[in-house]
Amino acid sequence: MVALSAAALALSMTACGSDNNSGTSSSGASGSSSAAAGAADCGGKAALTAEGSTAQQNAIAEFNKAWGQVCSGKSLSYNPTGSGAGVTQFLAKQVDFAGSDSALAADQVAPATERCGGNPAWNLPLVFGPVAMAYNLEGVDKLVVNADVLAKIFTGAITTWNDPAIAALNSGATLPDTKITPIYRSDSSGTTDNFQKYLTAAAPQTWTKGAGKEFQGGAGEGAQKSSGVVQAVQATPGAIGYVEKSPAKAANLPFAQIDSGAGAVELTDDSTAKAVGDAKFKADGMDLTLDLNALYASKEAGAYPLMLATYEIVCSKGYDADTAAAVKSFLTVSADQGQANLSAAGFVPLPDSFKERLLKSVDAIA
């Protein structure tokens, strides 16, 4: 077993200490699934391990607290090393499940099946979070961009903030001739994959670099993990970087509005909730891989299009009985009581219809 980071251990301790925090107990949740999250759903081993996405780290902390409150003594140790590392550790049987900002790639399906004892691994989207275009531009409190402009910035085709293409989206604003420094994730990252998928869908003629967890744009400066992107944007006048809303908000960084063709849309709870409603699944069945092209290419007024769906990658079968029961318990509580404080943490609570389908897949884990 790989050594867990200090952050992971602290996360585990947070969950263990949450039993005294009765404010978010199971009695305070609503719906039939809450009633089901009682003692019967608290079986299995007391401690789980997971690794992966830094984007979902704060959401996992909320889920961990809720799990410790609903199921006394239960805790998850989550190591936020990035999506690529998390999937690697899952395939190597070093953790019980992986957190990833992208579903398993085609060349990972067979190794995942082998890891799960010949059974399919399922991609279960548990966390939706908007990706903020955080920027550092003195004197500019409001900035509007679109997919075409972002594609040109991150390929080096637009290099200064007073470029006519940016000025056209910011009528009436005085933009400086400051050099633009794009900040991208230098580590393997599902956030990068989602950002590049967004550019591919929304600006296909401009962004021809493709997607993937490695940045393909060829312009700017790289930074490790979400925290590194935030720090780089803060430290670099003229910088702009893609990063999850939660760390950008915590750092008090401004983030741009996005105009998909129906007017500029601010990143708010309402605009992200509206966007989540556009997400669709690629197929019927228990694997819930999302087809986000409709969301990314949407021109719907009032919907913020640059969203990130974070998956928990789990074995459909192949766990020992204690691990299977604990994984099901954690995911059930996460999808139910764990949603209560997600908005305050910078994420989008799951719509009821989405939650119902997710819980059906969780219940089918054997």
Residues making up the annotated binding site for phosphate are: 53-55, 83, 101, 189-191
Residue 13 has pLDDT above 60, yes or no: no
Residues making up the annotated binding site are: 53-55, 83, 101, 189-191
* Contact (Cβ atoms closer than 8 angstroms) between residue 329 and residue 127: no
pTM attached to this predicted model:
0.72
Within the chain, strands assigned E span: 47-52, 75-79, 97-100, 121-135, 144-145, 181-185, 221-223, 239-244, 257-259, 264-265, 280-281, 290-291, 307-315
Q: Which domains does the chain have, with CATH numbers?
A: 6-130+281-288+308-363 (3.40.190.10), 131-275 (3.40.190.10)
> What pLDDT does 233 receive?
98
Name the 3-class secondary structure at 148: helix
Residue 2 has pLDDT above 60, yes or no: no
Average pLDDT in the chain: 88
What mean pLDDT do residues 81-87 have? 92
> What pLDDT does 278 receive?
66
pLDDT band at 95 (very low <50, low <70, confident <90, very high): very high
Residue 172 has pLDDT above 70, yes or no: yes
> What pLDDT does 25 receive?
33
Q: What is the pLDDT of residues 251-284, one digit of tens each?
A: 999 999 999 999 999 999 888 888 876 678 889 9
Percent of the chain having pLDDT more than 90? Answer: 69
CA atoms within 13 A on the CB side of 126: 34
Q: What is the pLDDT of residues 329-360, one digit of tens each?
A: 999 999 999 999 998 888 988 878 788 899 99
